Amino acid sequence: MVSKGLTVIWIALLALASVHFVLPATAHAENPCKGAGKDKVIEKSNISDFHVEYQFQFSEELEKFCVKVKNKGEMNASSGFSASADNIGLKQESPILGPGESVLVTKNVTEYLNVVKDNHTVKLGAYQEFYYYNFTRELNATSSDVPSPYIKNVSVIRDQENDSTALRVETYNPSKRGYGMYVQVETFGTDGEYTIAAPQENETHPVTIPLKESSDEVVAGKVRIFDEWAESDGKFDQKEFIAKPSEDTNAWDDNFEQVPGTVDEYTYSNESAEQYREDYVDEDVLSPLEKRVGAVLSVLLVVGAVLWWRR
């Protein structure tokens, strides 16, 4: 129980709270946390008719908390309380309750959990009394079912004037918490170049990484985003890509097998892409005569192949 002075201060602060998200609060809804343990906080003043009771529950199975707030006093009272998931505060609306009124607040915390950790904590409380609900949940950060950062777009940028290339990578974070991460790229000419991105909740964060290929080369490689070097957890996303000099970049999902730092080499390897890169001829840079000669040679090769087959 806090002192009388602190009680008055808490009432004033909760009434003045102004930054909120809308919680699904109702006085008559069925409690989805039914069966979970109950913890209570009672705040009652000896100098006024202020009397509020809080009942806290957390369902590990549903990854959801349920808080019932009841005003048992004879004066209006705020229903505000404190909630966080893996140290991310969940701001809340604090409706004023009249005498005898109650409200049930429920919230799923999945989007707020840190996907690179296996051990998680939900903290609930009011008036400096808190309860901690610890549970273990292994989350696969590369799964589309888990809200975690992923690569939204990949494009090769060519600077003809300086005969250079760079890779622009857009990362998107669909979760309710910010992440800091490494963005690393490997190509046939670029070994393990990286930078850092920090997309906040529901934010797209673009970064650009210089490559060592010239502006007229086919650029092929892979790009990955991850939480930390040499850590098996925190593998967010990985894509392979290829870009011809005169065309857009094609990118596709790639299986994220190893986090950088667990191996010594960062050299890109793909036999098909390497053969394509070595044999590629950009028709846009050929002269009309070269194009005609190439067409004639192609026809001669086809005719020769047919005659040989008929022998």
Q: What is the mean pLDDT of residues 94-120?
A: 94
pLDDT higher at 310 or 42: 42
Cβ atoms of 117 and 233 within 8 Å: the answer is yes
Better-predicted residue by pLDDT, 24 or 137? 137
297, part of any domain: no
Tell me if 144 is assigned to some domain: no
Do 176 and 254 sit in the same domain of this protein?
yes
Q: Indicate whether 104 and 195 sit together in one domain.
A: no
Q: Which residue has the tokens 């009394």?
A: 129
The pLDDT of residue 163 is above 80:
yes
What is the reported pLDDT for 3? Answer: 43
| Rounded alpha-carbon distances, angstroms, from residue 222 to 52, 194, 227 | 57, 12, 17
Tens-digit pLDDT profile for residues 21-49: 334 455 557 899 999 999 999 999 989 99
Q: How far apart are CA 56 and CA 42, in angstroms?
A: 11
Domain end point (choices 114, 136, 158):
136
Asked whether residue 19 falls in the same domain as residue 60, the answer is yes
Same-domain pairing of 63 and 167: no
182 with 252, same domain: the answer is yes
pLDDT at 228: 86
Amino acid at position 76, single letter: N
pLDDT at 301 over 90: no
Domain annotation covers residue 130? yes
Number of domains in the chain: 2
State how far the Cα of 29 lies from the Cα of 105, in Å rounded to an integer. 9
Mean confidence (pLDDT) of the chain: 83
DSSP string, 100-146: T-EEEEEEE-GGGS-TT-SEEEEEEEETTEEEEEEEE----TTSTTS
User: What is the rounded distance in angstroms from the CA atom of residue 56 to the CA atom of residue 120?
Assistant: 17
Range of the domain at 75: 4-136
Q: Same domain for 64 and 89?
A: yes
Is 80 a domain residue?
A: yes
In the predicted structure, residue 84 carries a pLDDT above the cut 90:
yes
Residue 157: inside a domain: yes
pLDDT for 306 equals: 46
More confident residue, 16 or 250: 250
111 and 216 inside one domain = no
- Count Cβ atoms below 10 Å from residue 240 Cβ, excluding itself: 20
Same domain, 100 and 160: no
| Residue 200: count of CB within 10 angstroms of its CB | 12
pLDDT at 107 over 80: yes
Q: Pick 193 or 17 by higher pLDDT.
A: 193
- Over residues 124-134, the mean pLDDT reads 96
Considering the domain architecture, whether residues 238 and 173 belong to the same structural domain is answered as yes
pLDDT band at 60 (very low <50, low <70, confident <90, very high): very high
* Residue 285 belongs to a domain: no
- For residue 257, pLDDT over 80 is answered with no
Same domain, 226 and 175: yes
Residue 212 in domain: yes
208 and 109 part of one domain: no
286 assigned to some structural domain: no
Q: Check pLDDT > 50 for residue 290.
A: no
Percent of the chain predicted with pLDDT > 90: 62
Tens digit of pLDDT for each residue in 224-238? 999 988 677 788 999
User: Residue 209: which CATH number?
Assistant: 2.60.40.10
On whether both 162 and 237 belong to a single domain, the answer is yes
Provide, rounded to the nearest whole percent, the portion of the chain with pLDDT above 70: 78
